[in-house]
Amino acid sequence: MLVQSIEKGMECMSLSTPSSVASLYALLSISFWGVSFVSTKAVLHTLDPLTLLVLRFGIGALFLFFLILAQGISLRIHLKYVPHLIILGVLGVFIHQLLQASALLTIDASAAGWMISFAPIFTMFLSILFLQERLSMFKMGGVVLAVIGVLLVTSARTGHSLSFSLQIGYFLMLSSTFNWAVYSILLKKLAIPHPSLVITFYMCTIGFVLTLPFLFQTKGWQALPLLSGSEWLHLAFLGVFVSGVSYWFWAKSLEVMEASKVSAFLYLEPLTTLIAAVLLLHEEILLISVLGGVIVILGVIIANRPVLSNK
């Protein structure tokens, strides 16, 4: 199986460099999330956003369930950790995705893309307050560089300058980024003593159950026969890799690295989206996008400098 091969390959890289493996897990998560915008755009020609959301987490939960069975991992969870899983599922899956879906009803994807850069900033300050992580000048400098790079990449993709207005969509998107920061901090702080794969499965299942009523509200199942073969492939990718594997790998990276350092990889998401758009949608490559991408990568490297220098 592809996912198991990726996991075994990374874990066999070097037992003495867990931070490097954790960085790769975070990088893969961001890569899948970045490409998701391309797949989402392809599927939304047929499905409405809420139906897509339900199907994504339904497919993701089912995939993780069979992966757990294949690895022979127990699904048993101690009762005292059930409230923790419910909180993580509600925050990281249900509320996070609902806020983003609602925000995209009033603002465009490019505006939502650059607002994602607030999530690592929120995570950094929450990490200082609740996880006692230290804020170094290198980390702060990396954050500033990465934000600049994100702004260049996202503005270049649309050809518009970055603007902000008092629309409800911006407030919802900002709330979504703050919510993701809280989720990442809680996932790190709670440190539930169960395999991250099992934790992710229960979170994904909780998210699916909570979003399931939307399917009945929109009667989205009526559009399923209209999906083409390529659209089913995009939907499968969104369910398996974006809603399942990415959340799992994100949790695995948080097991080793500081929350603020893991969150810094979110700055790479617009860059991976740009690369996917160029390769899959044949969008034009602009010099300012390349410059922004280089600045983003440099910012992430600087923000994670202690991790990279302790190999």
Judged against a pLDDT cut of 50, whether residue 15 lies above it is answered with no
Give the DSSP per-residue string, 140-200. HHHHHHHHHHHHHHHHHHHTS-----S-HHHHHHHHHHHHHHHHHHHHHHH--SS-HHHHH
Decide which of 164 and 85 is more confident.
85
Decide which of 146 and 311 is more confident.
146
Average pLDDT of 283-289? 68
- Residue 2 to residue 182: CA distance in whole angstroms: 31
**Sign (positive/negative) of CA torsion 227, 230, 236, 238?**
negative
Judged against a pLDDT cut of 80, whether residue 162 lies above it is answered with no
Average pLDDT of 212-238? 89
pTM of the model: 0.76
Judged against a pLDDT cut of 60, whether residue 265 lies above it is answered with yes
pLDDT one-digit tens code per residue, 190-215: 888 889 999 999 999 998 999 899 88
Judged against a pLDDT cut of 70, whether residue 34 lies above it is answered with yes
pLDDT score for 85: 92
Judged against a pLDDT cut of 90, whether residue 258 lies above it is answered with no
Q: Where residue 276 falls among pLDDT bands split at 50, 70, 90?
A: confident
- Residue 193 to residue 183: CA distance in whole angstroms: 17
The rounded mean pLDDT for the chain is: 78
Average pLDDT of 256-261? 79
Number of other residues whose CB lies within 10 A of the CB of residue 287: 8
Judged against a pLDDT cut of 90, whether residue 154 lies above it is answered with no
Average pLDDT of 130-144? 73
pLDDT score for 12: 53
Average pLDDT of 263-269? 76
What CA–CA distances, in Å, run from 110 to 158, 170, 209, 267, 288?
Answer: 7, 12, 30, 14, 16
Average pLDDT of 19-47? 83
pLDDT score for 311: 35
pLDDT one-digit tens code per residue, 90-99: 998 889 888 8
Decide which of 285 and 32 is more confident.
32
Closest CA to 238 of 90, 26, 19, 39: 39
Residues 6 or more apart whose CB falls under 8 angstroms from that of 268 comprise 27, 30, 31, 34, 296, 297, 300
Judged against a pLDDT cut of 90, whether residue 87 lies above it is answered with yes
pLDDT score for 16: 45
pLDDT score for 149: 73
Structure tokens at 292: 């922004």
pLDDT score for 278: 72
Q: Where residue 84 falls among pLDDT bands split at 50, 70, 90?
A: very high
Judged against a pLDDT cut of 50, whether residue 14 lies above it is answered with no
